[in-house]
Structure formats: structure tokens, C-alpha cells
Structure 1
Amino acid sequence: MASVELFSIGNALVDQEFLVDDQFLQNAQLVKGTMQLCDAEQQAQLVKNLSQATHKGQASGGSAANTTVAFSALGGTSFYACRVGNDALANFYLHDLQQVKVQTHQKSLSEGQTGTCIVMVTPDGERTMYTYLGITAELSPEQIDYEPLKQAKWLYIEGYLATSPTAHQAVAEARQLAKAHGVKIAISLSDPAMVQYAKSGLDQLIDDGVDVLFCNEQEALMYTKALSIEQASEALLNIAQTVVITLGSKGALIGAKNRSIQMVVGEAVEALDSNGAGDAFAGGFLYALTQDKTVEQAAKIGNIVAAKVVSQYGPRLSYQQYQDIAGQLES
């Protein structure tokens, strides 16, 4: 297996995306803008209730996978550690990764049902997710080939793993190996629901600190209980060398040890769907760092990729769209 720059661990999920209004979310008792876990029957019932909603299609998803795809399609080399079932959805999912040259391993396949996520997008572009994890809920060290990590530049961890004790074990092993081989570590808090209901799990994933921590404004304030994003950034620097707080169309706030906080202005676009925006930002940001860009330049690139993602439906761009962005960056 070829060496990689980015080694990611996350939940493998196939997204089904629908257009809904706020009333539908209220009727379904879903908190807008968050992710909620469910079982297979609960998800099936929601799908029935969505029979009259506009279905925007099926897409490979999962937070870390979206980040890894962006990183790879921009020109980086990557490996994605996950767990999928031995079913048609897994074939669809892994094929999508292979199309953008993301490396995987046969260990990722096991008996069980591949996880699925119902993504509901309201007219303001906000996404709300209802997730049945399936077999990815049992992601453990046994499903992961750690060899590519030994020569990687970055280990990337998604915060959604905070709810899985076995995933904690997988991440702990990855962190230990990363430190032994001088690999930098990045993590995303992923969702306000993870901060609210699984903060202790996030703390375990973060352990004694990371090199880069990604979050949005709501997650930063909730995690630190700070009164402003500036205060939140300062607090998060106790557990991260660099803190990146995304602010949607406004851009991103960058905090780094021994440096003043920097605001990197975002791209002006019409937002249709926020699904995958933060993931795309992280992918662009990490790719830029591997190209020896400054954190401010990396945030600018992250903003460009995220803006393109929110301007269309679905969590990812086409491979050609990523390549077009990469071409613009080179010029």
C-alpha cells in the first residue's frame, strides 16, 4: 500500500437527502441543525413520513469521509479507516472513495448493515440529520489497518465517534501510533449534539491534546461555556495548538498559541445546503497545510471549498469540481 499524507477515522454513512420545511422538523421532534441517532425502525418510520418530500438523492457521507474526499480530490494522498456492512450500500460507498483515490482496506468490510443518514435540508440551507449507525457503531481496532498511519503527515478524527466505546479504543491506538511516528493530530467536534450529549466521549478522543481542532461557533461556545468566540478560542487553545472556528459565510476564526486571533473572511455565495460544509473546510485546510501554506492561507482555501459545497445539494463536490479549485489555487 502506498504511503499517504492523511489518515482518517470516521463513521461510514450513506446519505439520503430530502428537502423539508421547519414545520416537518417540529412535527418529527427534531432539533434543527443537529444530528440525532436512531435505530433502524425509527429511521424507516421517518422515511415513510418523508414520502411527500423532495428527494435530492443518495450520496456517500460521513464527516471524516467527506473531509478525506476533499483532501484527496484536491491532490492529496489519503487513507480512510471505517466499517461498512457486506451489502450493496457498502459497494456504493467504497466505490465512491475509490473514484477519488482514497485508499481503504478489506478489513473495513464485515457482516452487518451499512450505516445510513437521513439529511433534511430546510429552505434556509440548514441541514438536520437522523442517523442509524448500523455496523459502524461497532467500529473497533480490528477493522483498521494502521500501517499507512506510520508514514502519514496527519491523523484526522471525527467527533461523531464520541458515542462509541469501541471507536474510542480504535482512536486511542491511532493516537499512540501517531505520536510514536511524529504524525500530527486533528479533530473535529462535528456537531452541537456531540458536545451536548457526548462531551465526555469527545474528551476521550482529544485526550492530552491535538495539533488542530475544528468546530463551528455553536460547538465552541457550548464546549467551553464561554461568552464569546474569542474567549472560546482562548479556552480551546488549552487542548489544541491551533483552533479553527468556522462561522459560515462570515469565514473562520483562527487561534494559535503565542499568536493573536485572526479572522479569515469567507466567500459570498447563495447557500442551498450546509450538509458537509465544515467537513469540506477541514479537507481544504489540511490539504493546504501539507502544501506548506500558512494557517491563514489554509483557512482561505477551506472557505473556498466550503462555499462551493454549500452552493449545491449534497455533502461533496464532483471530482472535477475539486480539481478545478485546485487549479485555481495553483494559478
Structure 2
Amino acid sequence: MVKKYDVTGIGNALVDIEFEISDAFLEKNGIEKGVMTLVDEERQSTLMATINTKTSKLQCGGSAANTIIALSQFGGEAYYCCKVGDDELGRFFMDDLRESGVNHNLDPYQLEKGITGKCLVMVTADAERTMNTFLGITQTFGTAQLNEQAIKDSKYLYIEGYLITSPDAKEAMIRARKVAEENGVKIALTFSDPAMVKYFGESFKEVIGSGVDLLFANEEEAMIYTGKDNLSEAREAMKKLARHFVITQGKNGAMIYDGDTFIDIEPYPTVAVDSNGAGDMFAGAFLYGITNGHSYASSGKLASMASSKIVSQFGPRLNWKEAGEILDRLSPKQT
């Protein structure tokens, strides 16, 4: 059966506001470096008042949104389930999805009153990104925002780990998983952030259930979730969670388990200026690959190329030309 979409994603809808700061700024404002921290609107407004927003970059984001947009830019067919408010940023988010070639569940005439979520992405000179997020209306994302027909019409369902913080969103994660299972749709999950794994490990067990088809994690997330203190033991433990998985290793590339063997993916030389979105891009490129005729190794190579390009520039997204150039570097349908 031919599927309409390669991937349907579910996740937060956030407008990313990215800017450069110093370590001193983080220390002065009591911000924990290198992680995503949820804040209220007042706290976020206070931080925004101290920065020059005129030099910041504005894009629709959220972890899964970045991944789904990446897949679309490589030529994949994508759908996104999310929630925005009836405000200027909500309409900006919808327009950005449309311009990125992503179908979605948002109806401009039926948006709820509320504030669209915003994520302050603070980038330091060492290319580390620190996020302070006010979820706004996306924190009420639930089963009502799922397009179950889109999930059924997809090769993969992609679930964002950040959703785990909300009871309503967790219910939607579990419901989406059930719809996928009942209709032969493969399930991919990303842990999203070490803090999510650290504080919501038990909730992830409910979402993972008997196992998923594909799991994305970085080294820290893999070790925290499995309770292992080295990567060798962690990767063995992850075989019980997923039939296939990817462990990203930053400047050291990535490791892929294809269900039988481990595949080491070499990094591509780059000068890192901003790590924001590198993991999201890796997942998007990898999902594009495995849903469009590429092997796990070839998909990993594509993902490594794409993520190395992302960390060499500001922002979590390629432009269409860059995506095409990366595809051109990879010979068609490598197996």
C-alpha cells in the first residue's frame, strides 16, 4: 500500500528566537547552560528585555517541527500535528510550515485564543545552545490535535520527547502510538533532552511500551535512561527498548543499530558555531533516508552531512539549496 506521507510528527509548536550571548549572561541571570528549561511568561519577558531582539533570528520550531521540516526539505512528504494560539506568532508558525512544504492540522479559522509558545535559544561562543521555553498554548496539546488519518497514511509516526512533560500530551503520545500500531505504521521516538529522560523516565516507559521501531538519543540520554555509566552497556540495554536506534555522539559522529549490527557513522569536519537543532536535523535527514530507499548506513551518512552543516551556521534549519547540495553529495539510493 502506497502511503501519502513518509512521516507524521507530533510535537510542540514554538517560535524560536535565537541570539548570541556570553557565559557571563547565563551566570548573571541564573540560567543553567546547555539544557532546555521551562519558564513562565513573566520570566521569559524579563530575559527578552535584556537582549537585542532586533539581531535575533525568528523561525517556527520545536524539536519535532525542525525534524519534520528537514525531512520535507530533502524531498520527503511530511505532516505535523501541533497547537498554536490565535495570535501573530501562531499565524507566523502556520505560514512557515506551509512555506516549508509541511502539511498540518492547523486551521486559521479555528485557532483557540491563547499565546503561541516561544523558545529563547541562547548560543554561546563554544557553540553550546541553552533554551528557555514558555510553552504557551502548546502545553495543552492533546488528543484533539491528532490527525489520526494522517498517522494511518504514514510510513512512520515520529514522537517528540518534550511532550512528556504534560499529562494531556502524554495521553496524545500514547494514543498516537496505538493508532500507528493498529495500522502497521512504524513508530519513532526521540528523547529530545537529557532533562526529559532524567525527570520523566517513568512516563517514557508508558510511551515506549513493549518497544518502538526507532529510537533517537544522544550519549547522555542513552546512559541516563538505561542507568548505565558507559556507552557500551547503554547500547546493549537499548536493544530492549527499540528494534533500531541511533545514538548521536556530537563531534564523534553517531552510532546506528540496524537490528543486527552496529554501524559507526563518521563525523564530517566542520567549525561549530551553533549546536542548536543538530540532533533534530540528524533525525530528519535519517528519517528521509530510510523512508526513501536508502540503507541505514547511507541514511546515517546523509544525516551526518546535514547535521555538520547545521552546526557550522546559526539556526536549526538548512535552506532548500543547501539541502539539495547535500543530497547531491550522496550518490542516489546507496545500499
TM-score, normalization by structure 2:
0.94
DSSP-derived class of the 2:163 partner? helix
DSSP-derived class of the 2:49 partner? helix
2:140 and 2:54 map into 1 onto residues whose CA distance is 32
- After superposing the two structures, state which structure 1 stretch, 165-174 or 196-205, moved more: 196-205
Structure 1 residue identity aligned to 2:298:
Q
1:287: Cα distance to partner?
A: 0.6
1:285: Cα distance to partner?
A: 0.5
Does the 8 A contact of 1:8 with 1:157 survive in 2? yes
Does the 8 A contact of 1:10 with 1:157 survive in 2? yes
1:54 and 1:27 map into 2 onto residues whose CA distance is 22
1:203 and 1:59 map into 2 onto residues whose CA distance is 32
Does the 8 A contact of 1:250 with 1:267 survive in 2? no
- After superposing the two structures, state which structure 1 stretch, 203-212 or 121-130, moved more: 203-212
DSSP-derived class of the 1:103 partner? strand
1:232: Cα distance to partner?
A: 0.9
Matched, 1:22 2:5: no
Structure 2 residue identity aligned to 1:202:
F
1:149: Cα distance to partner?
A: 1.1
Select 1:113's aligned residue among 98, 112, 115: 115
DSSP-derived class of the 1:85 partner? coil
1:33 and 1:206 map into 2 onto residues whose CA distance is 26
Structure 2 residue identity aligned to 1:58:
L
Does the 8 A contact of 2:5 with 2:79 survive in 1? yes
DSSP-derived class of the 2:150 partner? helix
1:258 and 1:96 map into 2 onto residues whose CA distance is 39
For residues 84-103 of structure 1, what are the alpha-carbon distances to aligned partners after superposition, in whole Å with 9 as ceiling and x for unaligned? 00111011111111112100
Structure 2 residue identity aligned to 1:230:
S
After TM superposition, list the pairs within 5 Å mapping 1:39-118 onto structure 2: 39-51=40-52, 55-106=55-106, 109-118=111-120
Structure 1 residue identity aligned to 2:55:
H
User: Which residue does 1:125 correspond to in 2?
Assistant: 127
Does the 8 A contact of 1:19 with 1:54 survive in 2? no
DSSP-derived class of the 2:5 partner? coil
User: Which residue does 1:138 correspond to in 2?
Assistant: 140
Structure 1 residue identity aligned to 2:134:
Y
Question: How many positions carry a matched residue from both structures?
Answer: 328
Does the 8 A contact of 1:234 with 1:255 survive in 2? no
1:207 and 1:55 map into 2 onto residues whose CA distance is 44
User: Which residue does 2:153 correspond to in 1?
Assistant: 151
DSSP-derived class of the 1:5 partner? strand
Does the 8 A contact of 1:39 with 1:132 survive in 2? yes
User: Which residue does 2:241 correspond to in 1?
Assistant: 239
Structure 1 residue identity aligned to 2:210:
D
For residues 17-47 of structure 1, what are the alpha-carbon distances to aligned partners after superposition, in whole Å with 9 as ceiling and x for unaligned? 1111112112222221100001100111111
For residues 282-320 of structure 1, what are the alpha-carbon distances to aligned partners after superposition, in whole Å with 9 as ceiling and x for unaligned? 001011101222212111111011111111101111122
2:164 and 2:45 map into 1 onto residues whose CA distance is 24
For residues 258-290 of structure 1, what are the alpha-carbon distances to aligned partners after superposition, in whole Å with 9 as ceiling and x for unaligned? 42x221111110111111100000001011101
Does the 8 A contact of 1:75 with 1:326 survive in 2? no
1:30 and 1:86 map into 2 onto residues whose CA distance is 30
User: Which residue does 1:289 correspond to in 2?
Assistant: 290
Select 2:252's aligned residue among 250, 253, 256: 250
Identity, % of aligned pairs? 42
1:174: Cα distance to partner?
A: 1.0
DSSP-derived class of the 1:316 partner? coil
Does the 8 A contact of 1:65 with 1:80 survive in 2? yes
1:223 and 1:54 map into 2 onto residues whose CA distance is 40
1:253: Cα distance to partner?
A: 1.1
Matched, 1:270 2:271: yes
Q: CA RMSD of the aligned region, Å?
A: 1.7
1:256: Cα distance to partner?
A: 4.0
User: Which residue does 2:198 correspond to in 1?
Assistant: 196
- After superposing the two structures, state which structure 1 stretch, 315-324 or 279-288, moved more: 315-324
DSSP-derived class of the 1:211 partner? strand
Does the 8 A contact of 1:237 with 1:256 survive in 2? no
Say if 1:55 and 1:224 are closer, same or farther in 2 by CA, change over 3 A.
Answer: farther
Structure 2 residue identity aligned to 1:137:
Q
Structure 2 residue identity aligned to 1:87:
D
1:270 and 1:289 map into 2 onto residues whose CA distance is 28
User: Which residue does 2:174 correspond to in 1?
Assistant: 172
2:279 and 2:259 map into 1 onto residues whose CA distance is 23
DSSP-derived class of the 1:92 partner? helix
2:55 and 2:231 map into 1 onto residues whose CA distance is 36
1:322: Cα distance to partner?
A: 1.5
1:193: Cα distance to partner?
A: 1.2
DSSP-derived class of the 1:72 partner? helix
Does the 8 A contact of 1:168 with 1:205 survive in 2? yes
1:132: Cα distance to partner?
A: 0.2
